[in-house]
Amino acid sequence: MFFVSLPKSGTVYTWTCLSDMTGLKMPEFHLLEGWEDYNSGRDFSCPDIYACGDYNTQLLRPEQMKIYLQGYVFGAHMQASYHNMRILEESGITRITVLLRDPRDAFVSWVHHLRELGLPARNYHSRIYHIPRDYYDWSVEEQFDFQVRSFLPTTINWVEGWLDYYAAADRKVDILFVLYDELKRDPLSYMKRIFEFHEIDDVDYSKLVVPEEGKLHFRKGEHEQWRVDFSPGNQRLASEMLQDRISRGFELAARSHRGRLKYDQALSIGNYALAAGAALEVITQFPNSAESYQLLYRAAEASKLDVADLRRKVAKELGEQSIAENFRYRYELVAECKRLVQQLGHVVPA
């Protein structure tokens, strides 16, 4: 079982829960030959580690990947580079989970994380980007000013890279996008979505733990915390960098969901219940895609169902969406859409 996450988005929590609840092993990196040297910042010190670099420089190593393909839950912070996706394909990994978070909020957690790690972390993180030698003498405000110009662009690019890969017509690896917002608000539903996608039935849900601040690298992780921690100047800079890149990426990805093809096929033969079910598949993966709700309205109205109430709820909740709202999971709207699809007689998974 392979998953990918944006740094500071609930990686350790997710990884630990996936392992505890399934019995799949986590790689014990600290026991590997050369770990101490690797952990100090020197790559290729561990012959059996499955990647070199980290985050935007991380590259999967094909020979070492073979070690972890049976009985493990493992993953990376890697970007969706041509190299990495090709190695996944060649390794026989056909589906992965990718954990997303508003890049600005992940960035805030990153800055505080580095501050807590202190000077010894500088050498390790040199494999990602340069951190000035006097960085740890700076105030937190000065650190934010530096990081927003050096690290934040990589977080934005990382998210749009995964959305762009999903939208590719020749995509070989299927992806489940999950959100940090899900993890925070409903960890049980969050985990169930992951297990269902990977078709793992043997799960001990009693071993699910509730995220707690200070445990498993988990901070308080408030939604839109960046609005508090960014200076007005840095907020403007972040907005200039983001523009509509993330929102556009989500919409293009939603249009590429395989449910769209099923929808068109079902609609062409007048099977409106099947078409509605296909639209629901898209909405469940991309619950902020206004265009995807339109598909459901069309199928339902062709079956003479009244969708006025659902239209109002969707319009009210999505409204004029900010970038941050792309990273909220719409549990209530998804549940409402499921009820509508069931009215049409289509079988919907629990």
pLDDT band at 122 (very low <50, low <70, confident <90, very high): very high
d(Cα 148, Cα 125) in Å, to the nearest integer?
16
pLDDT digits (tens, 9 = 90+) for 224-257: 888 899 999 999 999 999 999 999 999 999 999 9
- Which residue, 76, 63, 70, is CA-closest to 7? 76
Q: Is residue 323 part of a domain?
A: yes
pLDDT digits (tens, 9 = 90+) for 54-90: 999 999 999 999 999 999 999 999 999 999 999 999 9
Specify the pLDDT at position 234.
Answer: 94
State pTM to two decimals. 0.93
Shared domain check, 180 and 106: yes
> Per-residue pLDDT for 350 more than 70?
no
Shared domain check, 223 and 319: no
Shared domain check, 265 and 164: no
Rounded (10°) CA dihedral 147, 150, 153, 158 = -90
Specify the pLDDT at position 120.
Answer: 87
| Segment 24-30 mean pLDDT | 94
Q: Is residue 253 part of a domain?
A: no
d(Cα 127, Cα 58) in Å, to the nearest integer?
9
Domain that holds residue 163: 2-202+211-246
Q: What's the mean pLDDT when you consider all of the chain? A: 93
Q: Is residue 140 part of a domain?
A: yes
CA 347 to chain centre: 28
Give the 3-state secondary structure of the chain: CEEEECCCCCHHHHHHHHHHHHCCECCCHHHCCCHHHHHCCCCCCCCCCCEECCHHHCEECHHHHHHHCCCECEEECCCCCHHHHHHHHHCCCCEEEEEECCHHHHHHHHHHHHHHHCCCHHHHHCCCCCCCCCHHHCCHHHHHHHHHHHCHHHHHHHHHHHHHHHHCCCCCCEEEEEEHHHHHHCHHHHHHHHHHHCCCCCCCHHHCCCCCCCCCCCCCCCCCCHHHHCCHHHHHHHHHHHCCHHHHHHHHHHHCCHHHHHHHHHHHCCCHHHHHHHHHHHHHHCCCCHHHHHHHHHHHHHCCCCCHHHHHHHHHHHCCCCHHHHHCCCHHHHHHHHHHHHHCCCCCCC
Q: How many domains does the chain have?
A: 2
> Per-residue pLDDT for 6 more than 80?
yes
Q: Is residue 350 part of a domain?
A: no
- Long-range contacts of residues 339-342, Cβ cutoff 8 Å, at least 24 apart: 340/276, 340/296, 340/300, 340/305, 340/307, 340/310, 341/273, 341/276, 341/277, 341/279, 341/280, 341/296
- Long-range contacts of residues 186-190, Cβ cutoff 8 Å, at least 24 apart: 186/329, 186/331, 187/17, 187/211, 189/331
Domain boundary among 224, 246, 268: 246
CA 293 to chain centre: 22
Shared domain check, 168 and 287: no
Q: Among positive and negative, which fits the CA dihedral 327, 110, 25, 60?
A: positive
> Per-residue pLDDT for 222 more than 80?
no
> Per-residue pLDDT for 214 more than 60?
no
Shared domain check, 299 and 150: no
Specify the pLDDT at position 110.
Answer: 95
Shared domain check, 10 and 121: yes
Shared domain check, 19 and 109: yes
Q: Is residue 194 part of a domain?
A: yes
Specify the pLDDT at position 215.
Answer: 55
Residue 294 corresponds to which amino acid?
A: Q
Specify the pLDDT at position 213.
Answer: 63
Shared domain check, 223 and 114: yes
Give me 273's structure tokens: 């219940």
Q: Is residue 166 part of a domain?
A: yes
Shared domain check, 299 and 169: no
Shared domain check, 298 and 225: no
> Per-residue pLDDT for 349 more than 90?
no
Shared domain check, 294 and 222: no
Give me 108's structure tokens: 């805030």
Q: Is residue 252 part of a domain?
A: no
Give me 53's structure tokens: 């670099």
d(Cα 275, Cα 258) in Å, to the nearest integer?
12
- In the chain, the percentage of residues whose pLDDT exceeds 90 is 89
Specify the pLDDT at position 151.
Answer: 96
Residue 300 corresponds to which amino acid?
A: A
pLDDT band at 346 (very low <50, low <70, confident <90, very high): confident
d(Cα 256, Cα 261) in Å, to the nearest integer?
9
> Per-residue pLDDT for 347 more than 70?
no
Shared domain check, 318 and 191: no
Rounded (10°) CA dihedral 119, 120, 124, 130 = 20
| CATH number of the domain encompassing residue 20 | 3.40.50.300
> Per-residue pLDDT for 154 more than 90?
yes
